[in-house]
Structure 1
Amino acid sequence: MSEPVEAVEADTGQVPLPVVAVVGRPNVGKSTLVNRILGRREAVVEDVPGVTRDRVAYDAEWAGRAFTLLDTGGWDPEGQGMAARITAQAEIAVVAADVVIFVVDVTVGATDADEAVVRVLRRAGKPVVLAANKVDGPTTEADAAALWNLGLGEPHPVSALHGRGSGDMLDAVLAALPDAPPESFDEETGPRRVALVGKPNVGKSSLLNKLAGEDRVVVDAVAGTTVDPVDELISLGDREWRFIDTAGIRRRVREASGAEYYASLRTAAALERAEVAVVLIDASEPLAEQDLRIISMVEEAGRALVIAYNKWDLLDDERREMLEREIDRQLIRVSWAMRVNVSALTGWHVDRLVRAMDTALEGWTTRVPTAKLNAFLGEVVSAHPHPVRGGKQPRILFATQADSRPPRFVLFASGFLEASYRRFLERRLREQFGFAGTPIELSVRVRERRSRS
């Protein structure tokens, strides 16, 4: 077994990647085209209108240029209330993107719904690459040429299913992308970037205003007041931090519509831009599925994590005891996260956020020298060797830290290491070297046996 460790060492904490949105009616092949661009099956493809995955933002690359790819929901003009939402969704999707790939099914031709989207694209003024999909042979190329009438420029004949013409289309996308910045953001001297995330109406904007010492963002009792991420430079602990206040994440992206749908996408993008995430949880309510999913998003994004329990000062002893049990039971997987109890309304203990973020960032950037790492693992493995399975006992031959931000370790072994043993090694690494507030990635590479000649 060989797990990818050198995969994608992206600039996740630097300049945000350009965004390419794939838009079009239902069943024109958007998700199939997304999978073709990614080179793997990620987006759910089903011959039923309205199928959309929770994770619709993907890291993609073509010809050495990285970008974020958005697979958007299909627009069904016959759906209830959808006629009004076509414009709303299209406008917000296009605003979020640097380039739009507009997918049209050549076997059907341009419909009234396609014409409606075209009008939105023209008003937005964003670069548009017209993908004439389902061109599976020369006989349908003439149908693709007919799409010149849409007035969006040259139609690019593609077959998302078979890959035909997708390279030429991606070349056109790269040509339309904004120029890459000449130099990256200086992570060491610039403000540390903090994503303030949580489900709707837990007090994210109130906390941001309290930290800033003034009303910088709108606060309202109605959930979902914030739609676009709002970047704010705030002085805390004698230095500046860049806070990104984000829209509340709904229960499921596919259940959100219009502005809420794309607010969820932008929240995910905010995590990609951040170094540390502060997840705000309403301590007065039981931990919800949304809270757990947001924490998982932070962990999957590989960001340092601080969990702030809001309204803590209002809890009675019974609720505090109950919350502690909920945390022990439901958040055991992220027991390494930094924890702060705060009140966004009164400012109670918000000063402790700085210490928590500093500690989490320190763990996030920690690097263990190879010699020290192997000496430590040698002692651990000697005292607690891997269990014997099938008459064989895998041994760790060598280990190295491949990366930080977050810490990534590669273990070279003589055989497969069970997940339980890897979790044991992670616990011991944390006990020895800290890594408070940061996820850790452990990859195993099995040494291949060399045949003796």
Structure 2
Amino acid sequence: MNESDRTELDQVDFHEEDFDEADFQEFDEADFEEAEAAEGDIEEVDEGPVPVVAVVGRPNVGKSTLVNRIIGRRQAVVEDVPGVTRDRVAYDALWSGRKFTIVDTGGWERDARDRAKAIAAQAEAAVLTADVVLFVVDARVGATDDDEAAVRMLRRGGKPVVLVANKVDNARQEAESAHLWSLGLGEPHPVSALHGRGSGDLLDAVLAAIPEEPTGVARPRGPHRVALVGRPNVGKSSLLNRLAKEERAVVDAIAGTTVDPVDSLVSVGGEVWNFVDTAGLRKRVGFASGTEYYASLRTAAAIEAAEVAIVLLDAHEPISEQDQRIITMVAEAGRALIIAFNKWDLVDEDRRHQLSREIERDLRRVPWALRLNVSAMTGRAVDKLAPALRTALENWSRRVPTGRLNQFLTALVQATPHPVRGGRAPRILFATQAGTCPPRFVLFTTGPLDPGYVRFVERKLREEFDFAGSPIHVSVRPRKKNGRSRG
């Protein structure tokens, strides 16, 4: 056992002389069967294709409000202006014990141009990958020419469509919504997404429309999504423009120029990536207000929708508490992480030495994050971003075979067993990888493990299987008490 291992395990009072040979014998056949049975109960394991429900409609008819009503929390960004939602964003939902994925889309408009055309294309792609489409119409306005054009688009998609008459707040408006039968999509379902009126009946209709064999294709298969996040004025837009080799985002010396997330398809390292330039986060979302509050929500949504995040830090300024909060936000979202120290051209030798100490002190919670020293102004080392992105994404989606995982853990536990507690040491019976993106591992044990030992196992997993750039989650499933004697 090397010195770093002993230092970490000292936190759980490890003493090698407390163990004998019997404490780390291999588990018996009954233990193996019990662990395998428990493995089938893991909530995170793949349960087969999950139905996909796409929410489509004109701008500002209340699609995102309806999504929030369905998922039971305010996660999709809502504002009383059209065009807040631009991309397809998928959320997990549950109704009457049935899981499904709800996909929020931007407003669909016929003859759209420029950005509106790209938003409409995203909505059409969501229809093609969905099992059921929720077509939302503003019942107070009635069927418009754009609604009728959208119906023709939906019919070309050939998917089951549930017509939603939104913004119906009372019985009189419900009666008036009957004229939406004219769209030819069947019965309109009157709801108030804002107040919840009629939402239960609507969800019953959605479940009834789901086919027996759903496709389960929830997220678009296209360029990897990369979120550029950080405090204001650290150079996110400048880096995007450098990568794109053109002015894709407005750059100004005044902090806070970017408010809305800006999506850009950029070719970097011979591959097309979808970069999302986000608003600078000055403070916690809960303490923001006004435009800054909504910008913070959109940035948080951009992180959730991304696969990997590049957190930009100003290299010639001290690492701030807000920098650490942003990094924690990305890690807790389970996204692959690259920390880019921008403005490296302004860093002198003294600052490099000081920064090294700050990294050791302030970034010790994410030692697995990939780090790069770049300069968006001069182009220094920006060509290293593509290899770093590929590495982080590869490790983010890495799956370890169960046999190899358990061989590694058996050797690890024999070399460094768990400390004795109450006269016995809990043992790891079996382990499995419950999922990817990020990698999630479950340890089946004879009893609870000390948090320090779990951290030790996590670090050894990283060293053995190389998860650089990706968070990993390790959870413990203690064996249920069943009265079986342990001789």
TM-score interval, normalised by the smaller of the two chains:
0.5 to 0.7
Could you say which residue in structure 1 is the equivalent of 2:482?
Answer: 450
Task: State the AA in 1 paired with 2:94.
Answer: E
Deviations 1:193-233 (A, max 9, x none): 21111122211010000011111111112222222222212
**C-alpha distance in 1 between matches for 2:223 and 2:351:** 37
How far is 1:8 from its partner?
Answer: 8.5
Counterparts of 1:196-215 in structure 2, within 5 Å, are: 196-215=228-247
CA gap 1:254/1:18 in 2 versus in 1, 3 angstroms: farther
Could you say which residue in structure 2 is the equivalent of 1:6?
Answer: 43
Task: State the AA in 1 paired with 2:393.
Answer: L
**C-alpha distance in 2 between matches for 1:201 and 1:16:** 38
**C-alpha distance in 1 between matches for 2:281 and 2:46:** 27
Q: Does 1:411 align with 2:431?
A: no
SS where residue 286 of structure 1 aligns?
coil
How far is 1:376 from its partner?
Answer: 0.7
Q: Is the 8 A contact 1:145 1:155 kept in 2?
A: no
Which one of the candidate residues 67, 70, 74 is aligned to 2:102?
Answer: 67
Q: Does 1:339 align with 2:374?
A: no
Which one of the candidate residues 356, 359, 371 is aligned to 2:403?
Answer: 371
How far is 1:304 from its partner?
Answer: 1.0
CA gap 1:9/1:319 in 2 versus in 1, 3 angstroms: farther
Deviations 1:223-270 (A, max 9, x none): 222222222121221222221111222302233334332222222222
Q: Does 1:354 align with 2:386?
A: yes
Could you say which residue in structure 2 is the equivalent of 1:104?
Answer: none
Could you say which residue in structure 2 is the equivalent of 1:280?
Answer: 312
Task: State the AA in 2 paired with 1:370.
Answer: T
Larger radius of gyration: 2
Identity %: 57
**C-alpha distance in 2 between matches for 1:256 and 1:172:** 38
**C-alpha distance in 2 between matches for 1:239 and 1:366:** 20
**C-alpha distance in 1 between matches for 2:282 and 2:46:** 29
**C-alpha distance in 2 between matches for 1:211 and 1:447:** 51
Task: State the AA in 1 paired with 2:420.
Answer: V
SS where residue 334 of structure 1 aligns?
coil
Count of aligned residue pairs for this structure pair:
369
CA gap 1:236/1:326 in 2 versus in 1, 3 angstroms: same
**C-alpha distance in 2 between matches for 1:170 and 1:131:** 16
SS where residue 388 of structure 1 aligns?
coil
How far is 1:165 from its partner?
Answer: 6.8
CA gap 1:272/1:16 in 2 versus in 1, 3 angstroms: farther
Deviations 1:316-335 (A, max 9, x none): 22222222211111110100
Task: State the AA in 2 paired with 1:198.
Answer: G
Could you say which residue in structure 2 is the equivalent of 1:74?
Answer: none
Could you say which residue in structure 1 is the equivalent of 2:261?
Answer: 229
Q: Is the 8 A contact 1:400 1:411 kept in 2?
A: yes
Task: State the AA in 2 paired with 1:334.
Answer: V
CA gap 1:305/1:5 in 2 versus in 1, 3 angstroms: farther
Deviations 1:131-160 (A, max 9, x none): 86xxxxxxxxxxx647879999987699x9
Could you say which residue in structure 2 is the equivalent of 1:247?
Answer: 279
Q: Is the 8 A contact 1:22 1:100 kept in 2?
A: no
Counterparts of 1:3-152 in structure 2, within 5 Å, are: 5-7=42-44, 21-22=64-65, 59-62=92-95, 63-67=98-102, 129-130=166-167, 145=171
Deviations 1:420-440 (A, max 9, x none): 111100110111111100000
Q: Is the 8 A contact 1:303 1:405 kept in 2?
A: yes
SS where residue 445 of structure 1 aligns?
strand
Q: Does 1:397 align with 2:429?
A: yes
Q: Is the 8 A contact 1:21 1:99 kept in 2?
A: no
**C-alpha distance in 2 between matches for 1:397 and 1:166:** 46
Could you say which residue in structure 1 is the equivalent of 2:60?
Answer: none
Task: State the AA in 2 paired with 1:413.
Answer: T
CA gap 1:210/1:407 in 2 versus in 1, 3 angstroms: same
Task: State the AA in 2 paired with 1:66.
Answer: T
Q: Is the 8 A contact 1:407 1:440 kept in 2?
A: yes
Could you say which residue in structure 2 is the equivalent of 1:431?
Answer: 463
Q: Is the 8 A contact 1:304 1:437 kept in 2?
A: yes
CA gap 1:300/1:67 in 2 versus in 1, 3 angstroms: farther
**C-alpha distance in 2 between matches for 1:332 and 1:364:** 20
Which one of the candidate residues 162, 168, 178 is aligned to 2:201?
Answer: 168
CA gap 1:181/1:297 in 2 versus in 1, 3 angstroms: farther
Structure 1 unaligned residues grouped into runs of 5+: 24-32, 44-56, 70-95, 102-117, 133-143
**C-alpha distance in 1 between matches for 2:134 and 2:326:** 28
Root-mean-square deviation (CA, aligned residues, Å) is: 4.5
CA gap 1:429/1:157 in 2 versus in 1, 3 angstroms: closer
TM-score (norm 2): 0.63
SS where residue 365 of structure 2 aligns?
helix
**C-alpha distance in 1 between matches for 2:243 and 2:259:** 20
Task: State the AA in 1 paired with 2:357.
Answer: R
Q: Is the 8 A contact 2:93 2:99 kept in 1?
A: no
CA gap 1:340/1:157 in 2 versus in 1, 3 angstroms: closer
Q: Is the 8 A contact 2:234 2:314 kept in 1?
A: yes
Could you say which residue in structure 2 is the equivalent of 1:270?
Answer: 302
Q: Is the 8 A contact 1:278 1:307 kept in 2?
A: yes
Could you say which residue in structure 2 is the equivalent of 1:257?
Answer: 289
Task: State the AA in 1 paired with 2:43.
Answer: E
Deviations 1:353-396 (A, max 9, x none): 12221221221122211111111101111111111222332110
